[in-house]
Structure 1
Amino acid sequence: MEQLSLELETILEVVRVKQEVQERPTGYKTGMISSSYAGNFGIREIGDEASEVMLVVVLNTKNQINAIHRTFAGSLNSTVAHPREIFRTAIMNNGARIMLYHNHPSGNTEPSEADLSFTKRVVDCGKLLGIEVLDHVIVTEDEYLSLREQGMM
């Protein structure tokens, strides 16, 4: 019986991130100009999703939108999000600030304890990185709740 010798090959994986600039959708302003605009923006983007979705809006120093990323998708009542991916998005898009959004398919904008602890964790990480978290907005099909406005951040 012959012994087979296996050559081990090194597999190099090259990851290339490509971002494409698309024309701004009709009806969008260039920046977050008020909390009601920001809330309605979130409703329009993810308010009607059937499962929880995390949206990260990356802003420059003038609160103009640099990028919009659907960062996480979850189940009917939860999403697993990690600050690492959120801030990667901000850093790659030259963000000075971010706004977080997620939806509650249940129709209730009341934040859970998990929502509040997650927000605190992201805010703390942002402070370390020098990227401010302006707000975390919870949306449904027709309502929004700003954690900043409610004094929960």
Structure 2
Amino acid sequence: MTTQLIAGELPGTYVVPDAVTDRELMRLANMLARRRLKRGRPLLNLEAVISALQTLLMHYEREVFGMVLLDNRHRIIEFVELFMGSINSASVHPREVVKKALAQNAAAVILVHNHPSGDPEPSQADRAITNRLNEALNIVEVRLLDHIVVGLEGTVSFAERGLL
């Protein structure tokens, strides 16, 4: 049986008519997170986007690297998971990142990856690949807005930390 959400009285609230399992609750959370990252949605609330990304990536047992592609008005084109790695790293290829951004005609991107350890603190390798990706994207005039690191313990924004 699949649990359905019913719109609540207030915008952005939902009612679940039946008792749900942890697994079903996570499925519903992932469904809502994907809805927040739906094509055409404007990037008005970065916190909501970060929350959606955390919901989608925080429970992976391996490192996953993805990006949110945005048009020139910062509307979402697509969220895509590009690379999957091991428990503590993922090989990220700038060529593939740039290729995907160009294929979707993105004007800007937000990079994201998870830390399966739960600690979202960026590593030196995270900083190095972010710099390489920023340089590669700049060449083709795609703006890097942020790089979000997701963990069970929270998120870290490169832009908020002044690392971009």
Of 97, 101, 105, 2:112 maps to: 101
Deviation at 1:31, TM superposition (A): 2.7
Q: Establish whether residue 112 from structure 1 lines up as the match of residue 130 from structure 2.
A: no
Q: Secondary structure at the match of 2:116?
A: coil
Corresponding residue for 1:135? 146
Q: Establish whether residue 125 from structure 1 lines up as the match of residue 125 from structure 2.
A: no
Of 23, 38, 55, 1:44 maps to: 55
Q: Establish whether residue 72 from structure 1 lines up as the match of residue 83 from structure 2.
A: yes
Runs (4+) of structure 1 moved beyond 6 Å? none
Question: Structure 1 residues 28, 97: CA separation in 2 closer, same or farther (over 3 Å shift)?
Answer: closer
Q: Secondary structure at the match of 1:84?
A: helix
Q: Distance in 1 between matches of 2:138 and 2:154?
A: 29
TM-score, normalised by the number of residues in structure 2: 0.74
Q: CA RMSD in A?
A: 1.6
Question: Structure 1 residues 120, 48: CA separation in 2 closer, same or farther (over 3 Å shift)?
Answer: same
Using the aligned pairs only, state the percent identity: 30
- Between 1 and 2, higher relative CO (CA 8 Å, sep ≥ 6) is seen in 1
TM-score, normalised by the number of residues in structure 1: 0.79
Tell me, yes or no, if the aligned pair for 1:73 and 1:79 is still in contact at 8 Å: yes
Q: Establish whether residue 151 from structure 1 lines up as the match of residue 162 from structure 2.
A: yes
Stretches of structure 1 lacking an aligned partner (at least 5 in a row): 1-23
Higher helix share: 2
Q: Determine which structure has more spread, i.e. the larger CA radius of gyration.
A: 1
Stretches of structure 2 lacking an aligned partner (at least 5 in a row): 1-32
